[in-house]
Every structure is written in structure tokens, then in C-alpha cells.
Amino acid sequence: MNDEMNSNTGTEGLTLVLGGTGKTGHRVVERLARRGVPTRVASRSANPPFDWSDQSGWDAVLDGVTAVYVSYAPDLAIPGATESIRALVERAVEKGVQRLVLLSGRGEEEAQLCESIVQDAGIEWTVVRASWFNQNFSEGEFLEMVLAGAITLPAGDIPEPFVDVDDIADVAVAALNEDGHDGQLYELTGPRCLTFKEAVREIASATGREIQYVQIPHEAFAAGIVESGAADDIAWLLDYLFTTVLDGRNAYVCDGVQRALGREPTDFAEYARRIAAKGAWDVPSSDQKAVA
């Protein structure tokens, strides 16, 4: 895919998607393309390249851009994210960007600091504050556990209103491409809260496989992250999320999807059935493994 997708819709300026290859970013890009919105996908390998740690290339990436989707990987809670967001927002305003849409996280003090930076920029803004992604079980950190038949995490009985990434992308694209979302903070959740054990039960039901949830001590989880060879920032983030954020502070549902889109959010069971039908959780049979 080219880093820019042209259109004859008459939309003024480019929409820049930071994190355009991530869970939410690539979905935002796909939806903008279907709408015919001229889009620039930002990444280190794009032309021009974008790197959060190298501001020298930011001006070229922001040239001709009027709207920006800001997704900071791996998370706004990471040390140093606040400084990076502040620098990016200041540069974007200088370059004439008119609209910012920030992907944020619930219950994260650092993320809320980044929200304030965007809100105080003096241009149109929308904050998309999301709960834990459903897709962590199918595209991210927990997929291998699902395939192995045992999800081992330090989460207890604290419920979480898991949200579907497709809902996040729909909200983000509406905020980027439609009027009526300026100055809005959309807190996005699914329609109900589930514990991790209950979420795993939904996945098992959808797949027809036996998949267990095993709660393990935090110390064992932290040691396992290190042993897995995970990057330092990912290891720090997972430790932070399970020790700090998953303490009950987010154990309630919000109406962000309804306010932004006028429809109900996707239920976790519906997500699980959809992913199972696509085969993402299929485990090869012994015969298939032998052939491979």
C-alpha cells in the first residue's frame, strides 16, 4: 500500500494516520480508503518516514495534512509518551493541522495528561478513550495462549468492559471525517463487563474447544514476560496494566460508542463468534502438523 491514497472527493488536505499498521490504525486506514479520503499512513518504512524518536522527519510527514489520528505505540502510559505527544501536537499546529483525534486509555494517569495536551492545542480535537481490546485475544499478546488452550494471567475477578477494535476504528473515522465530534471525549467500552475467566469461557464456547483460564501470581507472570524475550516497553506495559489499571477503576460500561455512532457496541460473545468463524483460533491437527 502506498503511504498516500488519493481521491476525487474534494476533501481538503490529507488525513495522517499515526500507528497506521497497528490494531486500530490499519482499520482506520481501510475505512478512510473506502470513503475515498486522501490518507497518509505513517510508519518508519513509509515515504516520508515517521519515527516517534526522531523529530527531524516530522515536518515532511505533516506537510499538507489537515487531520491526524494519533495512536502512540505501545501505549500512552509508557514513560516519555507525554513529551512525544506534546512535541507532535505543537508541530502539527505549526504546520496547519486543523483536527486531532487521539486514541487514549482508560484509567491511565499518563494517558489523561496526553489528552489534556490535545485538548489545549487550540484546534479541533476528539479523544477516543478505550478499554481493553477484544483483539488482544486474537491479534495480540494473548493469541498464543488461546491456541495453546490455557490463558495464564494474573488477573483475578475484577471485571473489564472489553471493547472491539472495529468499534474504535468506526468512532475514530467518524471523528476524523465528519462534523459534530469536535470537543468530544468518547469513552469506549463493550456493552457489559466480564472477568478474564468469563471472556475465556466465551472464546471456548465460540471455538468448541476446551480453553482454560489460569490465574497465576504476579511474580510468575512478570518472570514469564522477561523469559519470553518481550521488548522492555511491552514488558513494562503489561506489568503496569495488570498491577495498576486492572484494579477495579474501570469496572463499568460507558456510552461512547452510542454517542459517537448512534448504535450499540459489539458484545464480546459476538466478537468471539466472528473470530472463531474466520479460523483465527483454529489449531492444526496432528496430521497437518506432520505435513508442515
CATH entry 3.40.50.2000 includes domain 4-131+163-190+251-266: no
- What pLDDT does 223 receive? 87
- What pLDDT does 1 receive? 42
CA distance 136 to 234: 13
CA distance 257 to 254: 8
Retrieve residue 5's grid coordinates.
491514497
Whole-number Cα distances in Å, 153 to 57, 104, 156, 172, 286: 39, 23, 9, 30, 27
The reply to whether omega before 154 is within 30° of 0 (cis) is no
- What pLDDT does 226 receive? 83
CA distance 88 to 230: 27
CA distance 283 to 290: 13
CA distance 192 to 70: 27
Average pLDDT per consecutive 10 residues, the chain (292 residues; last block may be shorter): 42 88 96 98 92 96 98 93 97 98 96 98 98 95 94 94 98 98 98 98 98 93 85 85 91 98 98 98 66 40
- What pLDDT does 97 receive? 98
Of 130, 129, 147, which is closest to residue 138 (Cα–Cα)? 147
- What pLDDT does 285 receive? 66
- What pLDDT does 182 receive? 98
Whole-number Cα distances in Å, 206 to 77, 107, 200, 264, 282: 33, 30, 10, 21, 11
- What pLDDT does 199 receive? 98
- What pLDDT does 218 receive? 87
- What pLDDT does 125 receive? 98
Tell me the three state secondary structure of residue 209: coil
- What pLDDT does 136 receive? 95
- What pLDDT does 291 receive? 39
- What pLDDT does 3 receive? 52
CA distance 207 to 221: 26
- What pLDDT does 162 receive? 98
Q: Return the DSSP state at 135.
A: G
